[in-house]
Chains A and B, each alone.
Chain A
């Protein structure tokens, strides 16, 4: 079964720290999503990547297709960044069409003041 693995599962850091969350996957993908989920459930799409690097505010996402690995970085972390961060992929073999995502188990991030 194709899998998406995230690390760490849980991360507690102090306000202002640089945060890195990692995602690795087992076979080729056509796209990788980084998602944020707050308590109460709503999911927000942060990035969709197929190559390279994207930046939005204090968030940076990178992907290395050859190594099947992606990272999400948060600079100058703030307590409001506390949430679950989820990596989700669309497998390459999907061949197009409206194919569902496969999700990692998420990283529970807590930023303490």
Chain B
């Protein structure tokens, strides 16, 4: 069965650079969530989109932005990268229902040097 696809899987950037992470949801899922998991930390919710509109916002820094496109894939744009942005970034997708079971992608590991 098709799963959530994230690209790239690994990314190395320098401080103050920008990065773009991509998420392709499971077919027919129109809801996407982004999470950040720092080293040794539990995942933290960043932002979500439903039908191409921002739905919920968590602890996403102002330096980050995201959007969902007409094909439902989503991109997380990160600017002025800091060392503390080094983390595993997960995307999850769901099909809207009253319970919204989320299916997670493999994650993108971002390292900021």
Q: Please measure, in the bound complex, the distance between the C-alpha atom of A41 and the C-alpha atom of B55, giving whole angstroms.
A: 26
Most A-side CB within 10 Å, residue of B94, B100, B109: B100
Contact of A42 with B by CB under 8 A? yes
- Pair B42/A31 contact, Cβ less than 8 Å: no
Contact of B102 with A by CB under 8 A? yes
Cβ–Cβ < 8 Å partners of A96 in chain B: 98
Question: Total A-B residue pairs with C-beta atoms closer than 8 Å?
Answer: 73
- Pair B99/A50 contact, Cβ less than 8 Å: yes
Query: Which range contains the number of A residues in contact with the other chain?
Result: 20 to 34
Cβ–Cβ < 8 Å partners of B100 in chain A: 31, 90, 98-99
Cβ–Cβ < 8 Å partners of B64 in chain A: none
Most B-side CB within 10 Å, residue of A33, A86, A100, A101: A100
Per DSSP, are chain B's interface residues mostly helix, strand or loop, or mixed?
A: strand
Q: Please measure, in the bound complex, the distance between the C-alpha atom of A11 and the C-alpha atom of B103, giving whole angstroms.
A: 26
Given contacts A41-B106, A100-B33, contact A105 B56 (CB under 8 A): no
Q: Please measure, in the bound complex, the distance between the C-alpha atom of A19 and the C-alpha atom of B109, giving whole angstroms.
A: 31
Across the A-B interface, the 8 shortest Cβ-Cβ residue pairs? A100-B45, A98-B55, A98-B48, A43-B104, A103-B42, A98-B50, A48-B101, A98-B31
Interface residues of A (CB under 8 A from B): 30-31, 33, 35, 41-45, 48, 50, 86, 88, 90, 94, 96-106
- What are 30 A-B residue pairs whose CB atoms fall within 8 Å in the complex? A30-B98, A33-B102, A41-B88, A41-B106, A41-B107, A41-B109, A42-B104, A42-B106, A42-B107, A43-B107, A45-B102, A45-B103, A88-B43, A90-B99, A90-B100, A94-B56, A97-B55, A97-B56, A98-B50, A98-B56, A99-B55, A100-B33, A100-B45, A100-B47, A101-B33, A101-B45, A101-B102, A102-B45, A103-B42, A103-B43
